[in-house]
Amino acid sequence: MAGKGEAVIFDMDGVIFDSETLVLNCWREVAECHGIRNIEIACHECLGTNSAVSKQIFLRHYGQDFPYDEYNAEMSEVFFGYASGGRLKKKPGVEKLLKYLKESGIKVALASSTREAVVKKELEEGGLLGYFDEIVCGDMVKRSKPEPDIFLEACRRLRSEPKKCYVIEDSYNGIRAAHAAGMHPIMVPDLMEPTEEMQGLAETILGSLYDVIGYLEPFLPGCITSENGYQI
């Protein structure tokens, strides 16, 4: 059950940026070049995890001799060719939501399994870096999602109790991690549709970031009401 909150923690890929679809398409390009079969299955399993866990998932699917580092570097080169220089698309409603939280005085953090250098570069190029009070990345904690470490570290830095934090996630592993941390998981699906497990772990499942504003309004103090009744 929802309670009074004081902070919101965002995932990045698939929540702030429409990057998961692009990563999948880049892996498809690499897979076509090298004859890698069923790439979508491995990529979907990797959603929400850090690079070390993703590598182990690929090795489990394709064997220990699979040249993951080489192919992942190739995929990254293709990805940044499409996305660098601020060309990475933002998810609809993200700027409105971040502005609403900022103007309402709500503490905001980012907890992304992506490496710190990439996270900060993409946020800066997207004009979003200034919205976040704290940023915790996959190379800053020992254990990847679905373990709760990254969210607990974000709470520690925000000086907030987990039970007072809402988490916005799109991936199964992210929802599992937020639930394990004792937070309020809000699922906004991206590549993967909600399963029965997700319906049990998430506090709510919403269709878009626009819906998050209306959902959070009763639980967060200091909100500014817009003409349509939502917070801005």
Q: Active site includes 13?
A: no
Distance CA(8)–CA(151), nearest Å, equals: 11
Place of tokens 């830095």: 157
- 231 Rama class: left (phi>0) / alpha (psi -120 to 50) / beta: beta
Place of tokens 């979907």: 44
The side-by-side arrangement of strands in the sheet containing 7-10 is: 134-137, 107-112, 7-10, 165-169, 184-187, 204-205
Which positions ≥6 away from 52 have C-beta within 8 Å?
144
Distance CA(201)–CA(84), nearest Å, equals: 35
Q: Give helix 19-34 / helix 39-46 axis angle, nearest 10°.
A: 150
Structure tokens belonging to residue 167: 């988490």
Active site residues: 11
